[in-house]
Amino acid sequence: MLCGLPVILVLTWQGLFLYAGEEALRSPAETVLAAISLVRTELFWNHLAETAHAFALALSMAVITGVALGIWLGYHRLSGEIFIPMLVGFASIPKVVLYPLVLLAFGLGLPAKVAFGTMFGVPPIALSTISAVNNIRPVLLKVGRVLGLGPADMVRIVLVPAVMPEIMTGLRLGFSLCLIGTILGEMFAARRGLGYLLMTAIGLHDVDLIMALTLLLTLFAVCASAVLLTIDRRLRRRL
């Protein structure tokens, strides 16, 4: 099944190509060739470096903010009652409508992209951390108390390891949303990055480039997702 899925996807793609024709999209084989020639250009690597930079910053900020926020709101009941509804509200806003505000606040360039990517990544990570903290077996928290652990030890020794497997699920979601946010942030009001490159290709109707970029981004997302899934499984095995 797991091996069959890519085959089905490629076959569907080929079928769509035969149906829609040259103007709309390229065949899988042509796309792979276009992608290979694309990764040979220096232009691509410059844009990729820009995107990778922005994405790495956005993801690390989303993880740190999300996990810290989640632990705080999950553990401190009053704060949770006040802020969790706000967080859920924020999670349901289509972030794109906030894009103009982000541009006003951060200006054009890297900070805006990072901020936008972070906004996408924080809610799923924070919400899954909150549920992870709520699901900790109460006896483990009592153990922390009878062992006389201070607040810092409580977080480091009991809370973080206990919530790690469930947080990983949120991280996988946060990872993909963060990538969407970063690429989206590059599509408008940016001069560099893969998102910008993609928008330019759309503007020029360069179907080769559009298809090649889409393929590369998909491959990256799938591979990263697989790595995170493996870590996730490994963390759960011990419980």
Of positions 9, 108, 147, 227, contacts another protein by CB under 8 A: 147
By CB atoms closer than 10 A (0-12, 13-18, 19+), residue 157 is middle
Q: Determine the interface stretch with another protein among 66-74, 147-155, 191-199, 221-229 (rule: CB under 8 A).
A: 147-155
Using CB under 8 A as the binding criterion, the count of chain residues that bind another protein stands at 18
- Candidates 29, 36, 33, 38; CA nearest to 10 is 29
**H helix intervals, the chain:** 4-20, 28-39, 42-75, 77-92, 99-106, 110-134, 138-146, 151-153, 160-187, 194-204, 207-237
Of positions 76, 142, 233, 234, contacts another protein by CB under 8 A: 142
* Of 93 and 147, CB closest to another protein: 147
Q: How many helices (H) and strands (E) does the chain have?
A: 11, 0
Phi and psi, residue 227, nearest 5°:
-60, -45
CB of 142 to another protein, least distance (A): 6
Q: Determine the interface stretch with another protein among 4-12, 41-49, 112-120, 140-148 (rule: CB under 8 A).
A: 140-148
Cα(134)–Cα(156) distance, integer angstroms:
17
155 binds another protein (CB under 8 A): no
* Of 22 and 153, CB closest to another protein: 153
Of positions 14, 45, 105, 153, contacts another protein by CB under 8 A: 153
149 binds another protein (CB under 8 A): yes
234 binds another protein (CB under 8 A): no
Cα(9)–Cα(125) distance, integer angstroms:
30
Per CB under 8 A, contacts with another protein among 163-202 are 164
137 binds another protein (CB under 8 A): yes
With beta carbons less than 8 A apart as the criterion, state whether 51 and 178 touch: no
Of positions 52, 56, 68, 157, contacts another protein by CB under 8 A: 157
Q: Give the CA distances from residue 210 to residues 128, 132, 133, 195, in Å, rounded to whole numbers and listed in that order.
A: 34, 40, 42, 11
Looking at residue 170, its amino acid is G
* Of 118 and 129, CB closest to another protein: 129
The binding site for another protein (CB under 8 A) comprises 137, 139-140, 142-143, 145-149, 153, 157-158, 161-162, 164, 238-239
